[in-house]
Amino acid sequence: MNKVNKRYEQLDKVFDFLEQNRLFSGTVLLSEGGNSFYKRAIGKRSFQEKQSVDSIFEIASISKSFTATAIMLLADNGSIRIDDPIKKFFPQLPYRGISIENLLNHTSGLKDYMEWFENEENWNHHKIVNNQDVVNFLETIQPKELFTVNKKWEYCNTGYVLLAETIRLVSNKEYGEFLNENIFTPLNMVNTSTYSQFLDGNLKRFALGFMYDRKKDMNFLPNEIDSHKYVYFLDGVKGDGGIKSTVEDLFKWEKSFYTNKILSKKSVDYMLKPARIKNKTTGYCPGLHKEYGGYGFGWALEEHSHYKKIVFHDGYWAGYGTGLISYRDYHKSIILLGNLDFTKEELNKTSHILALTLEKIFFHEEVNLEPFEQLIQ
């Protein structure tokens, strides 16, 4: 058996096992040299419908790569500067010394907004939060920074909401409208939008996010579980998440960083330059592997001894687990969109194990099902 056929066989073996054991529901696309060579859909996208490769998913924090690119577009045309202080756009906020760049690479020190809104004493959970509500929270509550700007790295959704609002203020267009005109349409990403599940009605081929209780062998919707009801009341927030897409559209997105159709090579290189934290460019941001990486603008970055430069982002939203991994030096990519979450925390390791397994298959390494088997023992 040649290497290509063996690779297909291994991929099918992995996904057959995942489907049979209810460990993954979703779609996958693998590409090499700018062409997709493996696509598969397993599981269900609703209680009645089977999954298909054109199913549309909540991509969660992969959305940050789009927000960052939109900011770079505004910087390229001179509308903003990356070193602009956020006070220039939000003079009502108390935070000084924080720049657009600090929001992009998570070095602002701002507190994440989600925790405050999840407290029912602070927010009526029957009311959907929007970006302006997050800005109002920062203005009225004025939560203290977690650390002095530039001193540390800490993943911060608040920063990306402010970036989305900056896009709106500078362009005089809503965040989704700007993305559609400047990214989605030019790349022919016809199934990508900032659709809100609870605000905008039905979306054809949308994959519902499920919480799977393995003991009961039952699927639940996240908003039916108290600890995950945030999927409803945070549904109106954009910039840190909120984009819906397909594996094919995200493949177009990944390819655009090679062809420079949206951004110049200079801007792409700038985006993919890791922040420097305490004289370190890596070692402060969780990587795809045990090694720790860095973070650029909307992308996590890793230099691996074997796989070389990896540009990636994962995403989590109750009911969804997503990942886009680009091996820049090999021109390969893995795109995973899943809509099966688990009530048992241990089972949520599946997505990460799957990504590492697909990577090994990609690079013609031996794999087995043991890591998945251990999850269900």
In terms of C-beta distances under 8 Å and separation of at least 24 residues, what long-range contacts does 197-202 make, across chains too? 197/58, 197/231, 197/235, 198/128, 198/232, 198/235, 199/128, 199/235, 199/236
Phi, psi of 112 (to 5 degrees): -70, 135
> CA–CA separation, 236 vs 135, rounded Å?
13
- Whether the CA torsion 180, 183, 186, 189 is positive or negative: it is negative
Burial 215-230 (b: 16+ CB within 10 A, else e): eeeebbbbbebeebbb
> CA–CA separation, 304 vs 21, rounded Å?
32
How far apart, in Å, are the Cα atoms of 311 and each of 88, 135, 246, 323, 333?
31, 30, 19, 11, 9
Whether 154 and 104 have beta carbons less than 8 Å apart is answered as: no
Strand-pair category, 218-220 with 244-245: unpaired
305 is catalytic: no
Amino acid symbol at 176: G
> CA–CA separation, 285 vs 275, rounded Å?
10
> CA–CA separation, 251 vs 249, rounded Å?
5
| Catalytic position from the list 25, 61, 99, 333 | 61
Look at the block and give the residue holding tokens 């890591």: 371
> CA–CA separation, 221 vs 282, rounded Å?
38
> CA–CA separation, 23 vs 340, rounded Å?
8
> CA–CA separation, 133 vs 139, rounded Å?
10
Residue 86 is classified by DSSP as G
Distance of CA 77 to the CA centre of its chain: 26
- Annotated catalytic residues are 61
